[in-house]
C-alpha cells in the first residue's frame, strides 16, 4: 500500500487580507479616558492619577500632586470652605 503521508499539500493560504490598523491606540486610562498606543506611556500616565497625586479635594474629584495646588484649587473652586482639614487629609504628615 502506498500510504504517502508526506504528500501533504496542505498549504495554508494566509488570508490575504491581514488588516493592519494604523497606530491603534489600545490602552485607555480608566481615570480620564485618554487613549495611548504605548503601554509604558499609559502606565506613566496612570501614575499621575494615583501615586503621584496624593493630594485630593474632598469636595470634588480634584487631585493634585502638590499641596499648594490642592489649596489653590479649594480657594478657587470652593471659596468659603476651610482649607487644611478638608483637603489632603490623607497626608502622612497630617496623620501624626
Residue ranges binding Zn ion (CB under 5 A): 29, 31-32, 34, 57, 59-60, 62, 77
Closer residue to Zn ion, CB minimum distance, 77 or 94: 77
Q: How far is the CB of 19 from Zn ion (least distance, A)?
A: 28
In angstroms, the CA 63 to CA 83 distance is 15
Contacts of 88 (CB under 8 A, 6+ apart): 54, 55, 56, 67, 70, 94
Say how far apart CA 61 and CA 84 lie, in whole Å.
Answer: 17
Closest distance between Zn ion and the C-beta of residue 31, in Å?
A: 4
**SS3 label, residue 82:** coil
Q: How far is CA 12 from the centre of its chain?
A: 40
CB closer to Zn ion out of 29 and 69: 29
If the CB atoms of residues 44 and 94 are measured against Zn ion, the closer one turns out to be: 44
Give the nearest distance from C-beta 96 to Zn ion in angstroms: 24
Measured from the CB atom, the residue of 18 and 57 that comes closer to Zn ion is 57
Amino acid at each position: 500500500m502506498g500510504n504517502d503521508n508526506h504528500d501533504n499539500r496542505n498549504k495554508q493560504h494566509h488570508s490575504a487580507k491581514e488588516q493592519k490598523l494604523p497606530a491603534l491606540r489600545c490602552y485607555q486610562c480608566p481615570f480620564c479616558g485618554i487613549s495611548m498606543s504605548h503601554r509604558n506611556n499609559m502606565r506613566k500616565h496612570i501614575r499621575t492619577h494615583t501615586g503621584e497625586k496624593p493630594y485630593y479635594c474632598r469636595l470634588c474629584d480634584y487631585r493634585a500632586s502638590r499641596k499648594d495646588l490642592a489649596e489653590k484649587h479649594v480657594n478657587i473652586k470652593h471659596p468659603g470652605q476651610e482649607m487644611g482639614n478638608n483637603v489632603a487629609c490623607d497626608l502622612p504628615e497630617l496623620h501624626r
